[in-house]
Amino acid sequence: MKTLDFTRPGTAAGAVGVAQAAFEYAVEYAKERVTFDVPIAMHQGVSFMIADMATEIEAARLLVWQSAWLHDQGKRATLQSSFAKRFSADTAMKVTTDAVQVFGGYGYIKEYPVEKLMRDAKLFQIYEGTSQIQRLVIAKEIFLPRDD
């Protein structure tokens, strides 16, 4: 478990990076793509989606930093590492799916980068313990905390 406590923040950081890239592509596209004579960024549905993406990425990033900081302090970080891994992986999947939505039909074709980012994001929900396994670890840490 100590090894996973150490590696999960790095995996979570990778998920944050994928989410950040998809977010940046979506923001640029939303500023450029025009419908009804205005950029789609001006449509409330798109702007709210972008706002949620930014919020979730920031929360994921802070969980990663917290778990890495605890490890750097020599403290046990099983709970925080699993928080970071689960939330970051699920955030990457949600953000990349939303980025594909912002791109519309273009988001699903290989000529646009968000299609690959969405496929990459799925890996983070599986690699180094699925999101479901992270939930098991989190629940165990909550209900049966260890003293070490």
Category of 111 on φ-ψ map: left (φ > 0), alpha (ψ -120 to 50) or beta? alpha
Q: Residues 32, 56, 128, 141: which is the catalytic one?
A: 128
Neighbours of 111 (CB within 10 A): 6
Active site annotation includes 28: no
Which of 14, 11, 40, 18 has the alpha carbon at shortest distance from 95?
18
Q: SS3 for 73? A: coil
Radius of gyration of the chain (CA): 17
Residues known to be catalytic: 128
